[in-house]
Amino acid sequence: MGSPARADLKVRNLTPEELARNLPRLQPSRYEVKSHATPRYNCVAFANGDERHWWEAGVFGGRFFWPPEIREDSTLQAWRQLFVSQGYVPTTNRNIELGFEKVAIYVSLEDFSTTHVAKSDGRVWKSKLGKGQDIDHYALDVLEGDQEDEYGVVELVLKRVAPKK
């Protein structure tokens, strides 16, 4: 999830081969690319519907953001607080559920730190891959694993009733 560095402002979409190498469970039949790569926002911002800021605790100003009422760290407890403050409640159901929005928080297998958050609109899981592209994926486990670019495991799933359209 790391902060975007100035030198990394120019990014490119990863090829399907690069994505498969970095995330071995993410095979082309299990996802669809939905945007071009951009360092403007990260997975936390994306899960909150913000494509203008990079959400990260302790980094403020410019295009960086963190809600002032939420603990200023990137722990599972802080991310849980962030989504609970928006009406999400914990659930044990990791499946997509029609009529519900969900977020799934991934943690590192090494130190239990937060690494990623995916969101569901009730039809598909969606992720922003660091500074890379946004994807729709059909299961949470396609991003799990303990290799360098994999996100660890899903530790917490929260849901809320989807707004009526």
CA distance 55 to 127: 14
What is the pLDDT at residue 10? 67
pLDDT at 51 over 50: yes
The predicted-structure confidence for 3-36, as pLDDT tens digits, reads as follows 444 444 568 998 999 999 999 999 889 999 999 9
Q: Where are the domains of the chain?
A: 6-161
Beta bridge partners of 161: 100
Encoded tokens for 127? 């992720």
Q: Could you say which DSSP state residue 5 is in?
A: P
What is the pLDDT at residue 2? 53
What is the pLDDT at residue 78? 96
pLDDT at 101 over 70: yes
What is the pLDDT at residue 46? 98
Encoded tokens for 112? 């239990």
What is the pLDDT at residue 4? 47
What is the CA angle 127-130-133, rounded to 5?
60
Q: What percent of the chain has pLDDT over 90?
A: 78
Q: What's the pTM value of the predicted model, to 2 decimals?
A: 0.91
What is the pLDDT at residue 7? 41
Cβ–Cβ under 8 Å, residues 127 and 120: no
What is the pLDDT at residue 8? 46
Q: In which residue are the tokens 């991310």 written?
A: 79
pLDDT at 1 over 60: no
Confidence grade of residue 63 (pLDDT, cut at 50, 70, 90): confident
| Mean predicted lDDT score pLDDT of the chain | 91
What is the pLDDT at residue 59? 76
What is the pLDDT at residue 5? 44
